[in-house]
Amino acid sequence: MSKVICIFGDSITWGAWDKELGGWVNRLRLYFDNQNQETEIYNCGVDGDYVGDVLKRFNVEAQARNPQIIVLAIGINDSPHSSNPNGTNLKELKTQYLELIKKAKRFTQKIIILGPTNVDDNNEKGYKNESIETVSGIIQKLAEKQKLTFIDLFGILSIDEFEDGLHPNSKGHQKIFEKVNEALKELSVDF
């Protein structure tokens, strides 16, 4: 019987700008395929999604797949940027993320939460590291309070690991893959 991992997130989760292997989630799927492990990886990343968007679609997508592990990689779009100059209200962000965690716990206790990545502050979309770091801190505190695995991705990408100042290139996606893969091993290979 296959083991199922569902990964919910945004364009970085979806794999944007990894022209070699299609993103860190696809790298994870290829890793499990090459290990001959019967593990199904479902990429539930949608370009442009906010925490509230994942919250709305979560139940339907999780019920269709019945995951043993859930990875939440969402939050960067909730920080202020040109399409959303004020960002998501921080109190609302906490409430939505906590609700997302509660929904995930109905499926499994094995939940990994990724903090948002840093950016090049000169990106064309107006994302700024200072705002992203605030969002990351909120998400990290929620994960810790819920006793869940948190992967801090803020600051792991260097300037040469961005394609457009916002999305990681292939080298950046490889770094994220390595962090997530290590956390999955620690969480439980046997899940």
Count the domains in the chain. Answer: 1
- Give backbone dihedrals phi and psi of 167, rounded to 5 degrees, phi first: -95, 135
Cβ proximity of 76 and 48 under 8 Å: no
Q: How far is CA 76 from CA 37, 114, 157, in A?
A: 32, 11, 14
The parent domain of residue 80 ranges over 3-188
Q: The domain spanning residue 145 has which CATH number?
A: 3.40.50.1110
Quick count: other Cβ atoms within 10 Å of Cβ 81? 21
Residue type (1 letter), 125? K
User: pLDDT by residue (tens digit) across 95-110?
Assistant: 999 999 999 999 999 9
User: pLDDT by residue (tens digit) across 35-93?
Assistant: 988 999 999 999 999 999 999 999 999 999 999 999 999 999 999 999 999 999 999 99
In the structure encoding, which two tokens stand for residue 21, read together? Answer: 């292997």
Sign of the torsion angle spanned by Cα atoms 132, 136, 137, 142: positive
